[in-house]
Each structure stands twice: as structure tokens, then as C-alpha cells.
Amino acid sequence: MNITVKYFGLLAEVTKRSQETIVFNKTTVAHLLEQLYATYPGLKEKDFQVAQNLEIVTKDALLTNQEIALLPPFSGG
Amino acid sequence: MSRYNRHIILDEIGQVGQDKIAAAKVLVIGAGGLGCPVLQYLAAAGIGHLGIVDFDLVEESNLQRQILFGTSSLGANKAIAAKNRLADLNPTIALTAYPKKLTAKNALALFEQYDIIVDGTDNFATRYLISDAAIITNKPVVYGAIYKFEGQVSVFNYASGPSYRCLFAKPPKAGQVANCSDVGVLGVLPGIIGSMQANEVLKIVLELGEVLSGKLCCYNAKTTQIHTLKVHKSEQEIAQVLARKNSFHEFDYEAFCETPVPEIAAKEALSLKNIQFIDVREVGEEPAISLENCVRIPLEELAINIAQINSEKSNILVCQTGIRSRKGVSILIEHHLENCYSLKGGAIALLNHLKVESK
């Protein structure tokens, strides 16, 4: 399947892109993260939440072929 | 009274709604980039009692975005300067300035006096403190946070909805997420996010529309895109906070969110010009570092010997393994010294490196 992945805040700096579409055939969010960590090792050092189809999901959520967003916390004010 | 006429003529607000606004008590924590627009609109709207918490002073670099302040406020406490400006904007409301730091010791008593808490702070330690204190006192938190060109807004702990910890259970590792003062921020961004926070406060007070609870609104100023993400409640996270209720005032939020400390490896440290090593171990701890540019000031005595530290130099703090030296660097940073580093791996790493180099 083709999955669109969006990177928010400093994660876009780590991956040097704000979004991309990747071809992926495994089943869970955790699997997808493994692949992203392999492509962008810097991501592994960052804390973030994952949203699928605009809903925050856990790492064991099944991929539904909908948009994924990686969301880090912001501290600024 | 003509001041609120444009509210009152709205069917959705009317005199009844305006009376609700006048009866509301809102505590705004942080009178910075976010706090300024929040306070400005809430004061103008006629919120009956506004509390303002900020220990910080107005600096010139704040004026690019912190719109309650002008050159005449430079050097003044932000809570007091904001109160003075707002008293002119709307003399009919009550304003209380708290020119101090929000801490685990004073948070609960302060929150009890208000209906709604606004988080406009600039660090994780205070954000977790606000979130937890709001859970314990059962107050809604209107949250806003910014990074460069992006912002987040949500309402936590509202009508049994999720809280900040349901979204981010734990703070990120120290030094991972930078702040506006370190990486910059588009000046208008906190204006947009802070205005959205003021809007959420008014919706809660007026019971109007749909409060942004259980959702995180993510705004990107570069693309003008908004993503609103659904957030689920974690009963477990909330229960853990409630379980700490009786010992809440003892919890050390700064240690929990460890302030970032610059670290440096031996090789990089030795390549810097004009360096001074400061050995923060106790007198007699071995192995000794026999470098000319190394002085020993035990950690316990560091704060009282600040005057001895040459701010013109890059100060590299060394201990046995690189843990105490991190604490030492935090002390120097608190005393506004720049160019201070904690040596990774401590004296052992330094001596090993020197041994390798001399071969």
C-alpha cells in the first residue's frame, strides 16, 4: 500500500521533508516506525505521538492505508 | 454600557453571555508570546478577574511578539507590566499580578481561586505542573504551544475529557525540543495561537459552540494548514496523577523534565580555544587531572565561588563520570554564564583521550 506520512515540528527537520508517500506492506504502526527509523536514524532519538487518519493511535494499531502524522511535543510559548 | 455593545448585539452572547464573561475568573500562566494576546483579548472581552503569573522580566528581544509591552516596560516584571497595560485597556475588570514562579508548592492554592487555567508557558516542567495541578483541582486548561512556524492548541481536563498527559505521558528527553529563545519563532505565530486560546476560554465561559476538548489543533503558519487530531483519554495517566494528590507539593517538576545541559566530548573540548577545565570532584578524588588550565572547585562550593569563574573562557566542567558536572553546568547557567559544558565521560574519558594523544 501507499502511505502518506506527515512530519510535524522538529521531525520535519530530522527527515528534511514535511511529508512523503512511501510504499509499505507490513501491518502495524510499529512496523512502519521501524522502517522510518532505518531511513532516518535521527527519528529514533525523538519523542513523538503517531496519528492515523487524524486520530492519535498506539504503536500496535493496524495500518489502514490512511494518512499517518508524526507529532512531537512543543514547549515554546 | 457601550464597551461590550458588539458582544451584546450578538444573539449568541447578549447581556446574559456578557454577564457570564464578567463573572469568570481566568488564570493565565506566562505573560509571554502566548500570554500577551490571551490576556489582551480576555481583558478587552471583560473577563471579570484575570490572574497573571510570570516571574520573568521584559527584554528587548521579547518585543517582536509580546505585544503588551513597549520600550517603556524593558526590565520590568512581565506580570506587573502586563497588568499595568491591561488596567488601561479595561479598568472595569479585576487584575492580579503574581510576579513569581509557579511551583508545586503554590499551584494548587492558586488554581482553586480561578475557573479556567491558560497555559502560555515556555517549558515542559511548568506544562506538566499545570496539567497535574489542574487534574487535582479539576480545572480546565486551555493549552497552547509553539515551535518556529507551528503551533498546537487544545482544551484539557474539560468535562471529563483527556488531559495533557493523555497526549504526552512523559516529557521528551532533556534538550530534545528547543525553545523560542534558542531557535527563533515567527512573531505573529503566538499571536494566532494565543488568540485561538482566548477564543476557547470564551467558548467555555459562554458554553458556546464546540470546545476543543479531546482534540489537538495543529496549525502551520507556512502552509496555513490545520490538522485537528483526535486525542483519547487515558484513565490510567489521570489516576496516577490523582494518586499523588497528598504529596503533590513535594514533586520536583524541574528534575522530572531535566533542563538541557550542553555536553562536550574530550576531543572536541581540547580543540576549543581559550578553555578552562573546572574539576567539580571533592578534593582528593583520583585520578587527578594534571593540566595547567584545570582548577578544582567541588560541586558543593561552585555556587559560592561563581566570581572565580572567567566568563570570557569556555568552561568545561569535569567530574568522575560526567554526572555531577552536568549539575555543575546547570548551576553556572542559572548564574547566566555562557559557554559552559559538561565533559562527557568525566575525568576518566579525558585522561584516556590525553593518553591516546600522547602516544
Which among A8, A73, A76 is the nearest to B168, CB-wise? A73
pLDDT at B207: 97
Burial class (CB within 10 angstroms; exposed 0-12, middle 13-18, buried 19+) of B1: exposed
pLDDT over 90 (residue B117): yes
Among B198, B231, B257, which residue terminates a domain?
B257
pLDDT at B1: 67
Helix (H) or strand (E) holding B94: strand B94-98
pLDDT at B259: 64
The verdict on a CB contact (< 8 Å) between B229 and A56 is yes
Question: What is residue B173's DSSP assignment?
Answer: P
Q: Dihedral (C-alpha) B175, B178, B181, B184: value to the nearest 10 degrees?
A: 150
pLDDT over 70 (residue B260): no
Determine the residue type at B244.
Answer: R
- Give residue B284's pLDDT band: very low, low, confident or very high (50, 70, 90): confident
pLDDT (average), residues A24-30: 92
Q: Which residue has the higher pLDDT, B72 or B327?
A: B72
Determine the residue type at B258.
Answer: E
What's the pTM value of the predicted model, to 2 decimals? 0.80
Q: How many domains does chain B have?
A: 2
Q: Are residues B209 and B89 in the same domain?
A: yes
- Give residue B268's pLDDT band: very low, low, confident or very high (50, 70, 90): confident
Q: Are residues B221 and B318 in the same domain?
A: no
pLDDT (average), residues B237-253: 92
CATH of residue B177? 3.40.50.720
**d(C-alpha B194, C-alpha B153), whole Å:** 9
Q: Are residues B52 and B137 in the same domain?
A: yes
The whole-chain average pLDDT of chain B stands at 93
Q: Which residue of A has its CA nearest to B257?
A: A75
Q: What is the strand order of the sheet B294-296 is part of?
A: B263-264, B340-343, B314-318, B275-279, B294-296
- Give residue B63's pLDDT band: very low, low, confident or very high (50, 70, 90): very high
Note down the domain range covering B157.
5-257
Chain B nearest C-alpha distance from A1 (Å): 23
Buried residues in B276-286 as b, exposed as e (16+ CB within 10 A): bbbbbbeeeee
- Cα A39 to chain centroid distance, Å, stands at 12
Q: Are residues B234 and B267 in the same domain?
A: no
Which among B120, B151, B177 is the nearest to A10, CB-wise? B177
CATH of residue B282? 3.40.250.10
Q: Which residue of A has its CA nearest to B185?
A: A76
Mean pLDDT lowest for which of B221-235, B266-280, B322-336, B338-352? B322-336
B179-229 pLDDT, tens digit each: 777 789 999 999 999 999 999 999 999 999 999 999 999 999 999 999 999
pLDDT at B175: 66
Q: Are residues B251 and B291 in the same domain?
A: no
Q: Which residue has the cell 475557573?
A: B115
pLDDT at B177: 76
pLDDT (average), residues B319-329: 87
CA proximity to B46, closest of B68, B74, B65, B22 = B22
A-to-B residue pairs, Cβ atoms closer than 8 angstroms:
89
pLDDT at B257: 80
Q: Are residues B136 and B20 in the same domain?
A: yes
- Give residue B273's pLDDT band: very low, low, confident or very high (50, 70, 90): confident
- Percent of chain B clearing pLDDT 70 (strictly above): 97
pLDDT over 90 (residue B251): no
